[in-house]
Amino acid sequence: MTSTTSKSAYLRGLGDAAPFILVVIPFSMLFGIVSVEAGLSVVETFAFSFLVIAGAAQFTALQLLQEEAPTFIVLASALAVNLRMAMYSASLTPYIGAAPIWQRALAAYLTVDQSYILAIAKFEKEPQMTVPQRMGYFFGAVTPVAVLWYAGTLTGAVIGAQVPDSWALDFAIPITFLAMIAPMFRTLAHVVAAFVAVVVSLLAVDVPYSLGIIIAGAIGMVAGAQCEWWMERRKGGAS
């Protein structure tokens, strides 16, 4: 990341990630506030965000801890929510797999929904980018997200219950994920997977320990895969 082109790519990543600032700040503050209200100390809350840096998994684990779910349920649920990171990594490997190992290790730690979505869209759109440029862009895209996630979590944990309910910071959670997944609806299979997952999650809302979300995700993926298989088969028959 010492070349001019890498620095330019880094700055482009920073610019493209700027809109996420509007939701990362309230999202991270909300986690800090909820964590302290759940009984975690300020240090524990900050360490949670720094070590895990995965908002959805953190909220899932925190909710289950509040429900006094068994430890293995908490760990399994958080892992299930974060399994998408394995798919993200596999998707990014063809583009940044040739980078130095320390950069790949840092990228693995900093692979979050925002950095992945911005990076993969950029890499697909501009396949001529070099590996250093791709790494520069990736780190630029994740810098404001990571920094603000840490800072917001710490701020939320410190101010805790002093934040009035009228601020309604929880709006950031659905807005964040809607902003991230909307551009990913590229095919009918994507839409089917999301629709089925939403319907099943609503039907399974009473499943203990919030396991309905995991069930809905699994069924949604199966539905999406079946739709994609049907589309490919139909395309093959037409040709």
Predicted pLDDT of residue 104: 95
Helix, coil or strand: residue 196: helix
CA distance 112 to 14: 15
**Contact at 8 Å (CB) between 179 and 23?**
yes
The amino acid present at 57, given as its one-letter code, is: A
The amino acid present at 65, given as its one-letter code, is: L
**Contact at 8 Å (CB) between 144 and 27?**
no
Predicted pLDDT of residue 2: 47
pTM of the model: 0.71
CA distance 108 to 90: 11
CA distance 26 to 156: 9
CA distance 169 to 167: 6
Predicted pLDDT of residue 218: 83
CA distance 138 to 114: 10
From first to last of its 239 residues, what are the pLDDT tens digits of the chain? 445 588 899 999 999 999 888 888 888 888 888 888 778 899 999 999 998 888 878 887 887 887 778 888 888 878 877 877 888 899 999 999 999 999 999 999 999 988 998 999 999 999 999 999 999 999 999 999 999 999 999 998 998 756 666 665 555 556 555 655 665 666 788 788 888 988 998 898 888 776 787 788 789 889 988 998 898 888 776 65
H or E, element range at 67: none
CA distance 204 to 176: 23
Instruction: Kindly state the tokens that stand for 228.
Output: 């994609």
Alpha carbons within 13 A on the beta-carbon side of 203: 10
| Complete DSSP assignment for 218-233 | HHHHHHHHHHHHHHHH
Residue in 115, 99, 136, 123 with CA at minimum distance from that of residue 54 = 115
The amino acid present at 122, given as its one-letter code, is: K
